[in-house]
Amino acid sequence: MVDKDNHTSRRDVLRRSGVGIGAAIGISMTGTVAARVPCTGCDGGGGGGSGSGSPPPTPQTGPYTVDNGEVELTGWAYGTDVEAWFEWGPEGDGFPYDTELRLIDDNASFTGHPVGEESGITYEYRAVAYNDYGRTEGATRTFSF
């Protein structure tokens, strides 16, 4: 026996949502979407959006240097009023540690200094950018010394 009160046809769904009415009178019901397509060789740079209401564009995770036993990570953040830092940790353990926070006013490079790392261990790190609308992470890289 068919339950006539349980409408599940496509027409009934459209009718309930108002889309059927809009389509019948010729109103466009299309929206916008953003596609994130990876860019090989970009190392996490670009992407995201910097318009009002968007998380910052994806930061770029740059190289590292070691000077007198101190590791310095380099990255680039894009947009205005962006907070940037690095997440890091032993390879395979995720990113349990953060470097110091940097405030980026307009498309700038930034550095971070991991504290507590040990020689002979491989660590992974990535740049992070944050604003009032969300956060984005750059590509993961590794360092050791």
Q: For 46-85, b where at least 16 C-beta lie within 10 A, e where not — what string?
A: ebbeeeeeebbbbbbbbebeeeeeebebbbbbbbeebbbb
Does the structure show a pLDDT above 50 at 139? yes
Mean pLDDT (whole number) for 25-46: 43
Any idea where the domains of the chain sit in the sequence? 1-31, 60-143
CA distances to 12, 13, 18, 124 from 4, rounded to whole Å, are 12, 14, 21, 59
Residue pair 43/61 in contact (Cβ under 8 Å)? The answer is yes
| Closest-CA residue to 72 (of 40, 39, 117) | 117
pLDDT of residue 105: 87
**CA atoms of 71 and 64, how far apart (whole Å):** 7
Share of the chain above pLDDT 90, in %: 59
Pick the CATH number of 60-143 from 1.10.357.10, 1.20.120.80, 3.30.479.10, 2.60.40.10: 2.60.40.10
The three-state secondary structure class of 110 is strand
Residue pair 48/59 in contact (Cβ under 8 Å)? The answer is no
pTM of the model: 0.64
**Cα 9 from chain centroid (whole Å):** 39
Point out which residues pair with 98 in neighbouring strands. 87
What does the pLDDT look like over 53-104, one tens digit per residue?
Answer: 899 999 999 999 999 989 999 999 999 999 999 999 999 999 999 999 999 9
